[in-house]
Structure 1
Amino acid sequence: MASAPQASNLPIFYKDLVPLNSNEHAKLRLKPADAAPFLKDQHAVPLTIDEFVVAQRFVPIIFSAGDEPVPLALMGLNEGVNTFLDDDGKLRGSGYVPAYVRRYPWMLAKLRPDSDELSLCFDPTSDTLGEFKKEGEALLEDGKPTELTQNILKFCEDFEQAAHRTGLFMKDIKEMELLMDGEVAIQVPGNEQPFVYRGFQMVNEEKLRDLRGDQLRKINQNGMLPLIHAHLFSLQLMREIFQQQVEQGKMPQVKAPEAVN
């Protein structure tokens, strides 16, 4: 069903990445966007643990398959399907947009492999950025970042910190061997066989209940337990996502069990 972000030079959504430079980008402006066309065909998006409590009200929270799992917000059950956005990439009603999406087209990145310093970079292919004459807000004034750019930088810094906390959370989850292969079977009237979705991981509730006292105290004291419960509660939304796909006519045309990896 879902996999970790593609192993390429750039994260998902990003087609290119350049550092913001006061000399080259003095006239660059950012205009607001009411749509995210780059997201409309993406069914799973990386999520940080800071978002679990809010996100679990709107989307199933799962973990990617493989040896290095990451939390994902599930916005559709099939590859290429996002039930929360219309064909123009606009949000259908209420919903939760992950910080990973809200960060685009910006991110902090290392410019040199021999340095840990992170620089504010952007995807120049984004249509929200350009040397617009009347649209948008300036990113630089007199060679210095505007308040808008400072706020963007702060958001990206907060995201990196949340991503670090998420990495520690996943490390603890793996060490306690709490993850298992997930599977959900959904029966549809008129179909003899159910739709079966696999290819993701979830917390094993039996192993969670059987944790030793010291392990349980640890995850309760460090705040992991409420996050685990948010993940488990959110899984019931998978059937709602499935129903949205049916209503939107985005179901695969098959009668046999559906296994999506």
Structure 2
Amino acid sequence: MASAAPANALPLLYNDLAPLSTQQHLDWRSRPIESLAFLKGAHAIPLTVDEFVDAQRHYPIVFSAGPNPVPLALMGLNEGVNVFVDEDGKLNSDVYLPAYIRRYPYMLARTRPDSDELSLCFDPSAGALGAFDQGDALFAEGQPSDHTKAVLGFCEQFEQAGQRTAAFMKDLLDNKLLIDGEVAIQPEGAAQPYVYRGFQMVDEQKLRDLRGDVARKLLQSGLLPLVFAHLFSLALIRNIFGRQMQAGLVPPQVQPPLQA
């Protein structure tokens, strides 16, 4: 999962990126982000394979559409809908929080197009770093503080998990296990089902049809337990839909035109 931000596009949740430096931020401090209001409009959060076991108990895990899919934890079924964050920006359930969210507002990114070196950056718009009177110091005696070292360590672990995730996705694609997903949900009293598309999922039939030697190799690599976590999690799509219905966040159905 690539974390480097292209010059003309930023990763999900990030509005800006600035490298952390002693020249500009020597006396700055970091304080916790109290509100998750920035998540309210995010319905699909990138996920690493390291998180599948924890995440599958709370979210449907799907894969993005297109030729370079990534795993996603669905926090809502419709664009701009997140059923886990309330109006005050608080998690309304005791759920697992994906590492992608916990990493914010920090990330490792390339700051120079001619170099592959990653630097610790942050989103200034988050308001979590600044010349505050209170909070965790970012630097001590001109060197990264213990707090900053811990942040850097977490971001490095996230990048390593991203590499494992990329290898997992390559295995899925090489074995042609992904298909376009579709879920139809027929609520009581609805004239027609709600149909959700625009994601990919593992084809169970293709999984069953794998040659024995291929299946054994995938089992030994640790891929199959991750696939099963994904498949088990799909049952939660209906739970998410039910929460949206209860909150009035399901878009109205478009009725087909009358035929003459």
For the criterion TM > 0.5, the same-fold answer is yes
For 1:189, the aligned partner's letter is: E
Task: List per-residue Cα deviations over 1:154-209 (Å, max 9, x = no partner).
Answer: 00000000001100110110010000010111111111201110110000000000
4+ long deviations beyond 6 Å: none
What TM-score do you get using the length of structure 1 for normalisation? Answer: 0.93
Equivalent position of 2:98 in the other structure: 98
Give the distance between the partners of 2:9 and 2:253, measured in 1 at CA: 35
Give the distance between the partners of 1:231 and 1:93, measured in 2 at CA: 21
Task: List per-residue Cα deviations over 1:223-255 (Å, max 9, x = no partner).
Answer: 000000000000000000001111112111225
Offset of residue 112 of structure 1: 2.0
8 Å Cα contact 1:16/1:123 also seen in 2 = yes
Give the distance between the partners of 2:254 and 2:190, measured in 1 at CA: 6
Give the distance between the partners of 1:190 and 1:255, measured in 2 at CA: 15
Q: 1:187 to 1:93 in 2, by over 3 A?
A: same
Give the distance between the partners of 2:32 and 2:97, measured in 1 at CA: 16
For 2:156, the aligned partner's letter is: E
SS in 2 for 1:14: coil
Equivalent position of 2:139 in the other structure: 140
Equivalent position of 2:9 in the other structure: 9
Equivalent position of 1:152 in the other structure: 151
Stretch deviating more after TM superposition (164-173 or 107-116): 107-116
For 1:58, the aligned partner's letter is: H
For 1:144, the aligned partner's letter is: Q
Q: 1:147 to 1:256 in 2, by over 3 A?
A: farther
For 2:200, the aligned partner's letter is: Q
Give the distance between the partners of 1:238 and 1:46, measured in 2 at CA: 17
For 1:195, the aligned partner's letter is: Y
Task: List per-residue Cα deviations over 1:106-144 (Å, max 9, x = no partner).
Answer: 0111122232211111111112121112x3211112211
What TM-score do you get using the length of structure 2 for normalisation? Answer: 0.93
Give the distance between the partners of 2:246 and 2:48, measured in 1 at CA: 29
Task: List per-residue Cα deviations over 1:2-55 (Å, max 9, x = no partner).
Answer: xxx999521111111111101210121111123211111100010000000100
For 1:251, the aligned partner's letter is: V
Runs of 5+ consecutive residues of structure 2 not aligned to the other structure: none
Q: 1:46 to 1:6 in 2, by over 3 A?
A: farther
Give the distance between the partners of 1:24 and 1:219, measured in 2 at CA: 48
Equivalent position of 1:182 in the other structure: 181
Q: Map of 1:90-129 to 2, 5 A cutoff? A: 90-129=90-129
User: Is 1:200–2:199 an aligned residue pair?
Assistant: yes
Equivalent position of 2:85 in the other structure: 85
Equivalent position of 1:53 in the other structure: 53
Equivalent position of 2:38 in the other structure: 38
8 Å Cα contact 1:59/1:75 also seen in 2 = yes
8 Å Cα contact 1:43/1:79 also seen in 2 = yes
- CA RMSD, Structure 1 to Structure 2 (Å): 1.6
Q: 1:192 to 1:16 in 2, by over 3 A?
A: same
SS in 2 for 1:180: strand
Runs of 5+ consecutive residues of structure 1 not aligned to the other structure: none
SS in 2 for 1:149: helix
